[in-house]
Every structure is written in structure tokens, then in C-alpha cells.
Structure 1
Amino acid sequence: MTEIKFTKLHGNGNDFILVDEFENKIPDDKKSAFAKKYCHRRFGIGADGVLFLSSSGRGAPLRMRIFNEDGSEAEMCGNGIRCFAKYAFDVGHISTGKTKVETMAGILEIEARVENGKKLVKVCMGKPLFDRKKIPATGMGDLINVPLHGYEVSAVNTGVPHAVIFVDDINDPGLMSIAPQIRYDKIFPKGANVNFVSREMGNLRVRTYERGVEGETLSCGTGSVAAAAVARRKGFIRDSTVVKTVGGELKISFEHDIAYMEGSAETVFTGTLNFDESSL
């Protein structure tokens, strides 16, 4: 039995357990089972996913891996990387200013700063990918306003695959019941997060059904970027917008087609758990 330190954080209500592997190493072949066990909201700590922080050695000082509550590993997570950066900032792994983090979606640049006593993180999310030829691993891209399950669906990859659907009534109770059909449609070989979006003046309101969580989350960072990218391509917004999610707001901006996401992250609590590797 080993005592494992952890930190619980959230970004706009999208919550995570973070394990700092400079202090406690979870074997790679146990990470999936670890996430399934401890993300459980009744028999575990409770979270949408687990973030593992370690050294990179690939052109960045830190590496982030994220496992969803169903045990699947995600390429990236927008709210997750802000929580990751917030923790790294708090404990001294990084300081204010710009640094880089290795993810499965590539090496991303982040910028941490303090504003009015609040720690904010700006993440360079890269260029949203619409061209199917550039992302053969997902088979997605170049799909705009495709009729699917009664909706017009647009696809974009912002680190992970997303379906974006503009609707008149964002509070329609039927949206989350149709989302799994879109999430598992064969048009998305690796599945997709499903984002329902409504326009509010120059801003957007988004609800997201997340792959790996298999339900609605309070916020999705990559989904907010995806919604803004599709809205920009359609001419609904210019180069900056505020995306309002159930859990809070994110500022999404574009510079020469490169997307940036900015928002806060909060530490909820810290603790230790008794980890028995043989029980996984």
C-alpha cells in the first residue's frame, strides 16, 4: 500500500484529479484503471478525468497525460491543461510567463499570469484542423453543415475531434439524448465530442457531450475552441469571442488562424489516497 498525493482542480466546473509524478509515479499500465477507479463519484474521489504531470524530454519541461473517467486516454483537454498549468504554477514547476507542455496533440505553449489576484492561463491551441487530409488518424475534417441525425453537423479537430451543431434553443432537453448518436456515428472513426452552440450577439453559448465521460460536462475547453472555430469559418464571429458554458466563460481568440484559449482554473482540495497497485 502506497500513499499517493493528489490535487483536485476544476476549470469552469470540468474537474480533474492531478497526480504529480515528480512525487508519486503511477505505472503506465495502471493509469487507465487508476482513472476508472478514482474518478468514480461515489466510490472514488470523483472527477471527469485524471491529469498526470511528469517531465517531458521532448522540447518542453513538462508533459501532460489525461485519462477520462472511462479509462480512455485523450489527446488533449483545454480545461485540463489550464488546471495542469495552475498546479504547476502553484508548486513552482513553472513561473509566470510563457512555457511549453507536451501533450498527445503536440507541444503547446502556455502563458501564466496573475490579474487582480487571480491566476489566469492562456493556451496556444494551435490551428483548428478542417482538412481531412491533414488528420488521417481521425478521418475527420472538411465536413461543414453535413446532415446527421436531424441536425447540420460541422467537424473540426482542436486537439481532439469535435462535432459542432448550431441550434436555436440551447436549453432543449432533447439535445443530450441525441448527442450519443452523433458521438458514435461512423463519420467519426475515433468518436467525437458533441457541442451544441447558440449565438448571443457576438458571443457563443455552448453545451458539450464529452467522449470518454459519456455525458454532459459543465465545460469543455477544446469544445469551446471548436465552436468558435466553426463560428468564425461561417462568418458568425470575427477574431475574438467569449464562449459561455454551464460552468463559466472562456475567451477564445485567433491570430493568423492560430487559436488561443484563456480562462481561470481553481484548486478545490488536496489529499492522499491509499494506492494498492494489485487492486487495479
Structure 2
Amino acid sequence: MTIQFTKLQGNGNDFILIDEWDDLLVPDDRKAAFAKKYCHRRFGIGADGVLFLTKGVKAPLQMRIFNEDGSEAEMCGNGIRCFAKYALDKRYIVPGLARVETKAGVLEIETKTENGKTYIKVNMGKPLFDRVKIPAQGHGEFINVPLHGYEVSAVNTGVPHAVVFVDSLEDPDLMDAAPLIRFDKVFAKGANVNFVQRDMGNLRVRTYERGVEGETLSCGTGSVAAAAIARHLGIVRDSAVVKTAGGELRITFEHDMAYMEGGAETVYKGEIEFDLSTP
């Protein structure tokens, strides 16, 4: 079966998008295997994840995202910007406000094009600080808790995140420590791990992503998580630029709601032969 795909990237976080607006192309029970096969950077197309676009039930559009290990994520900040860029180009949405259904809920997005570039602002909702079960304390805020040699804070910005402030992002031990935190039993579903350095009123971030099981050039929900914890601790105010290896995102807060703004680009389009008969 020949399937058309579009490769997109947001801040270097790259995705394969499969358009199922008219027809189901990849059966639901094959989506995980599809992601594992085609996200491989040597034996597939290569990507951090696969986005599936369909008509929504609670909103006009629905986005599902599968990580390269085949797991399905609730949401992805850079992914939804790529999703919006594609939907805008296909005229499934028009410039301005739109709504997208995700497993983390219905999110509002705003698109605009300036000087030939597309920018997307996403209402990421209210960061949740009470989704982690602290041993012997029940559920509550998890802020600057000693864990594997670091002070770790937790917040859910659509997916669970651990945030760790460090003096320098150049520390070579950071990515060795990240899996210990990511798989710690305190996080029932695991967590993305963000190491954060202050940068003159803004933030620099490196992220180890759950599902990718490695460092990515950027993580949208992780950038929101870093800014949310920094704001919670009084390190930044209601607006901050988060700098990642793949680029910058502006994170703002209005009435405790978080907004993420950044670009997204189409890299290329192509087609693949997907054998539905093989597992």
C-alpha cells in the first residue's frame, strides 16, 4: 500500500505526518509498529515521532502522536505546531484561531504567517503541579525534591515532566543521570527530564524525552514545563524565552494559563510502501 507522508520540524524536533482526513491509512493496531519502523533514522524515514491527522470528535481536527519506540504520547508541543503548519497549508484550517483534539484534551491554537514563515501560538492549558505521588505524603506538589543527586521538580504540561536547575548545561553527566530520573518509580508513567540553566531572565534547556529515550534538539512541552517551574519558584515572570539546541520558544502566562509560541517548517514530502500484511 502506497502512503503519502510529509516530514516537518519544529525547533529541530522532527515528525512524519500521515494525513488520514479522508481515509484510515494505518490501522490503529498497526500505528505503533508503523512509528517504530519509519522513525528509524537508518532503516526508515527518520523522526522523533509520527503524527496522525484525522477529523476530530470534540474539535474539527484530531492529532495522535506515536513516539519512535511505538508508545503513544498524550501531547507534544513541537508536534502540534508541525501539525498546525500542515493543516494550514492544506486549508483544513484558516489563519487565526483553531481547535485541535489531543489525548491531553482540546487545545486552542493561533496561526499566522509573516515574511513567508508560519508561527503558531498554542494554549497549553494550566500547568499541573499535583500529579505526582510523593511517598508517604500522597499526592501534592513535587518541588525541589532530592532525587538521584539532584533537586527535582515535577509538573504536567500535557505530559509529565521533571525539571532540574543546574549551573551549566555543558555537564557531561546530565544525560547519564536523566534515565535514572525518567524511570524513577515516583513517576507512575515515567517523565521527560529537563535540565535548565538560567540565562539573564530567560532559560536554556536540554531535554531527555520519554519514548525517544534520548536527548532531542527541543521539546515544546518541556520548554513550557521549565518556564512553569521557574515561574513557580520566582525565577522568571510571566514571559520568558526558552532556548534549546534547535531554536527558541516564547512561553507566556496569562491567568495561570501557559502559551507557547514558535515556528514550524515543512522539510519534504514523499511516499512509502507499507505492507499491511506483516505484523
Band of TM-score, shorter chain: over 0.9
Separation in 1 of the partners of 2:239 and 2:13?
23
Superposition map of 1:1-280 within 5 A: 2-24=1-23, 25-58=25-58, 60-132=59-131, 142-280=141-279
C-alpha contact (below 8 Å) 1:86/1:266 kept by paired residues: yes
Separation in 2 of the partners of 1:227 and 1:156?
9
Letter in 2 for 1:85: A
Deviation at 1:55, TM superposition (A): 0.2
Deviation at 1:23, TM superposition (A): 4.7
What is the aligned length?
274
Deviation at 1:63, TM superposition (A): 0.1
Separation in 2 of the partners of 1:170 and 1:23?
45
Structure 1 unaligned regions, length at least 5: none
SS in 1 for 2:158: coil
SS in 1 for 2:170: coil
Q: Compare 18-27 and 145-154 and name the one that shifted more.
A: 18-27
Separation in 2 of the partners of 1:141 and 1:274?
48
Letter in 1 for 2:228: A
The 3 A distance-change label for structure 1 pair 18 and 140 is: farther
Deviation at 1:145, TM superposition (A): 0.2
Deviation at 1:140, TM superposition (A): 7.0
C-alpha contact (below 8 Å) 2:108/2:122 kept by paired residues: yes
Separation in 2 of the partners of 1:57 and 1:102?
8
**Percent of aligned positions with the same letter in both sequences?**
74
Deviation at 1:114, TM superposition (A): 1.1
TM score, norm. by length of structure 1: 0.96
SS in 2 for 1:18: strand
The 3 A distance-change label for structure 1 pair 55 and 140 is: farther
SS in 1 for 2:14: strand
The 3 A distance-change label for structure 1 pair 123 and 140 is: farther
CA RMSD of aligned residues (A): 1.3
Q: Compare 224-233 and 170-179 and name the one that shifted more.
A: 170-179
SS in 1 for 2:89: helix
Deviation at 1:132, TM superposition (A): 3.3
SS in 2 for 1:131: coil
SS in 2 for 1:276: coil
C-alpha contact (below 8 Å) 1:86/1:119 kept by paired residues: yes
Deviation at 1:57, TM superposition (A): 1.8
Moved over 3 A (4+): none
TM score, norm. by length of structure 2: 0.96
SS in 2 for 1:277: coil
Deviation at 1:198, TM superposition (A): 0.2
SS in 2 for 1:64: strand
